[in-house]
Structure 1
Amino acid sequence: MKDFPSCFGESGVQVADFSSSTSRTAQNLVSCVYQCRLRGRSRLITVSWSKNLMGQGFSVGIDDNTNQCLCKVDIKPWLFSKKKGSKSLEADSSKIDIIWDLSSAKFGSGPEPLEGFYLGIVFERRMILLLGDMRKEAFKKTSATPVPSDPIFIAKREHIFGKKIFSTKVQFCDNGQLHDLVIECDTSAVSDPCLMIRVDSQTVMQVKRLRWKFRGNNTILVDGLAVEVFWDVHNWLFGTSLGNAVFMFKTNPSAEKLWVSQPLSDPHMLPWSWSQRFQDSQSQCLGFSLILYAWKNE
């Protein structure tokens, strides 16, 4: 895969194929990428939360900055009855402990827990990544100490569903304000639909004559940040009923724009090269990228 680290490839954590209606309705998936430092070296930790008919689960993969998977663990949904536990892995010739407690976790409509949980990663007795609101319990469980610098949340990939309105929540910068993001597009009731994007109920972008502008990019301003918006709604307009649109929101205006004519309907094929950008992570800010795959419910 080109859009996320290699731990999501065929040799790593198995991600469901969303090309069929069965897979599309049976599973939801949210993947988050964090930049951390292990022994002074940049490392990428990808946490994926999944939900299907068998339950909820998660996976953790650790990559180096050349996009090589160092280690991974996959807690499959059908094993998720054990809602607390730990796993020990090895990376950079040292042990990495992954601990979690989701026994009291509360979930919304998606697979990502909202509160009442922790997921921690410990390397050399230091908590290099800690997710959730039960921080005291996690540090007590591990006796680990915090790292000098917090991990940076650099990317998120999410599948969203709707008929003409698609919504999610997003932070456009690390530890920034949480916003309501809404994409609205009615492709069935009008001959030439309009694409609208709202942030906290405010319209920030509108694309008319969408049949001519089904693929493009624009810039919006959120929290004083320039956010580059890319869209590809070709499948909504001209594809099959099982097709999805792809949206990308990117907050690194200095990065080279790589929007090309290649269709973005395949979640496993995106033109932006993550590995190249990760290699430069030590010398420049990566910004934040949100990739949304929007599926229309029948």
Structure 2
Amino acid sequence: MGMACCVSPGSLSSTQPSDHLRNDDTLTQSSVMSTYRIHIAGHWHNVTVLWSKNIMAYSLSMYIESMKNNWVYTCKIALRSWNFWGKKGYKRFEVDENPLDVYWDFRSAKLTTSPEPTSDFYVALVSKEEIVLYLGDDNKKAYKRSKARPSLLEAVMVCKKEHVYGKKSFSTRAKLDQRRECDIFVECSTTGPGDPEMWIRVDGVVLIHIVNLQWKFRGNQTVVVDKQPVQVFWDVHAWLFCSPGSDHGLFIFKTGVQEPDRDEAEDETRSDDGESKYYSVQSSSMASQFCLFLYAWKTEG
């Protein structure tokens, strides 16, 4: 899969990364958009990483907000199947007069139906000999090639937006506690003799089960994953009352809520060793740190 990285004065704009995705939505089949907070030259910046996939190619775009004028600096890496060369590359550009270097290597990257590679790749964004943003799992190669050290202030993912397509099930992965990635799985049954139902699982454990979905197609509930409270919001009106593929269901996973009081009602699910890892609670106050937006498109009724 060949690649090209393009950065030029024409790449600067005041639009948001989502605007670029909307402009290409006729071609985009699936996408993952993640927003990080990174530290560059004494200031925190928002950087959005957009992985996209269509029938022609995979691509990676980076959008970095300026502190001075809110322009978005873009760097796009296009992966195409007909060109072997370019899987490993480098580019320099500037943000607020601060030089940035981006290094990438996708020569051995494992690609699946997701627009984001699963392993054997790296993307490193370097500022003043520090890797301020690192993506992938080949960190030793990234450090050796860039001759940079890890940043003293690590990048923090604050938001992830993913569009997924399926008939009855939808899955993704996200760091709900900023320490490890969890498997998130949504399954629905909206046709057949029984009432519509929906299940939401994290790491294989059913945390939310909604029956009579036609009456509860919007709602929210607080669950706890590895002792970390997470609020889950859902809106699946389109699944039940719109034509397949015309609109999506939306799921929001929002972390950072406080632990519930002891006297709050709990519905616990225990792990094999007897320790409570997951449970649902009635209510909880909010102190959000991370949000996952999952846009689930049903391809069949």
Q: Same fold (TM over 0.5)?
A: yes
**242-251 vs 36-45, which deviates more?**
36-45
CA shift digits 1:133-172 (9 cap, x unpaired): 2212212222222211211122211111221121222220
| Alignment-derived partner of residue 171 in structure 1 | 175
Larger RCO (CA within 8 A; separation ≥ 6)? 1
Q: How does 1:275-286 map to 2 (within 5 A)?
A: 286=288
8 Å CA contact 1:43–1:62 kept in 2: the answer is: yes
| Alignment-derived partner of residue 261 in structure 1 | none
Q: Which runs of 5+ in 1 are unaligned?
A: 255-284
> Structure 2 CA distance, aligned partners of 1:66 and 1:205?
44
| Alignment-derived partner of residue 105 in structure 1 | 109
Cα 1:186–1:44 shift into 2, 3 Å: same
8 Å CA contact 1:44–1:65 kept in 2: the answer is: no
1:68 to 37, 47, 70: 70
8 Å CA contact 1:196–1:203 kept in 2: the answer is: yes
Q: How does 1:1-298 map to 2 (within 5 A)?
A: 7-10=16-19, 13-15=20-22, 18=25, 23=27, 27-64=29-66, 68-78=70-80, 81=83, 82-176=86-180, 178-190=181-193, 192-242=195-245, 243-253=247-257, 286-298=288-300
Cα 1:69–1:216 shift into 2, 3 Å: farther
Cα 1:32–1:68 shift into 2, 3 Å: same
| SS across alignment from 2:189 | coil
Supply the AA of the counterpart residue of 1:83. K
Q: Which has the larger radius of gyration?
A: 2
| Runs of 4+ residues over 3 Å off in structure 1 | 13-18, 64-67, 76-81
| SS across alignment from 1:136 | helix
8 Å CA contact 1:70–1:91 kept in 2: the answer is: no
8 Å CA contact 2:41–2:127 kept in 1: the answer is: no
Quick one: percent identity of the two aligned structures?
Answer: 37
Supply the AA of the counterpart residue of 1:165. S
> Structure 2 CA distance, aligned partners of 1:68 and 1:103?
34
How many Å apart are 1:286 and its aligned residue? 4.9
Give me the TM-score of the superposition, normalised by structure 2.
0.78
> Structure 2 CA distance, aligned partners of 1:186 and 1:231?
15
8 Å CA contact 2:59–2:77 kept in 1: the answer is: yes
Give me the TM-score of the superposition, normalised by structure 1.
0.78
CA shift digits 1:89-118 (9 cap, x unpaired): 211211111111101111232111111111
8 Å CA contact 1:187–1:237 kept in 2: the answer is: yes
8 Å CA contact 1:227–1:252 kept in 2: the answer is: yes
RMSD of Structure 2 on Structure 1 (CA): 2.6
Supply the AA of the counterpart residue of 1:84. K
> Structure 2 CA distance, aligned partners of 1:15 and 1:173?
30
